[in-house]
Amino acid sequence: MILSDLIARIRLDLNDPSQGEGPYTWTDDELARHIDHAVREYSQALPRQVIVDVATAEDSRVVDISEITDAIVIYDIEHPIGETPQLYHRFNWFASVLTMDSEADGTDARIYYGALHYITAEASSIPQQHEDLIPLAATAYAMLQKSFYTTNRVTIGGATTPESYARRAKELLTTFNAELRRLRRKLSTASLYTPDAQAVVSTQQVYLPSGGEPG
């Protein structure tokens, strides 16, 4: 589902079709921001799995990963690549640097990591079976925005009062977060990645910057 389709769907959920009767209650930019918020929350629970090869320096334990700009969690580093069995290293991750537990030989290292998902005008990385989660959360964030904005304004009551927006948003976010927890538990029992078409479950510790927790 691309961005324009998602915005249209959220407008239906918000009962916000203009139909030539005036401006939308939420602008496209506002809804795109709420979608981005939802995607980031989803990504923390279920990161997009990525494998990338990066250069190493001979006789150095330090690996520059500054080209990786969307990492949420780093699962493993393989070096040298292609050994049988595959050789993984313990590591520390700080800023754009990984420090391995042994020196590199100057050949590439393979980084397995979890990244932010994306929804753009052309494409989406959200798995099809999870597409319903993004509008669920984005709709809730839009309702919260409107409830905060209108709290101190005169309203006519009914289904679109600040209180009703806030109440419905809470219900939607409760459902969203419960489903993320369920999916995260399911993921924790599965393989994180499958290099060389052979399932591998990492036994190495995942290190995160600033004392964070895995998404």
Tens-digit pLDDT profile for residues 118-170: 999 999 999 999 999 999 999 999 999 988 765 544 444 445 677 888 999 99
pTM for this model (two decimals): 0.78
**pLDDT at residue number 201:** 33
Q: With a cut of 50, which residues of the chain have pLDDT below it?
A: 152-158, 191-215
55, 81, 95, 98, 193 from 110: Cα distances, Å: 9, 7, 18, 12, 12
3-state secondary structure of 99: strand
Domains of the chain, by residue range, sit at: 3-45+118-188, 48-115
CB contact at 8 A, 66 and 25 = no
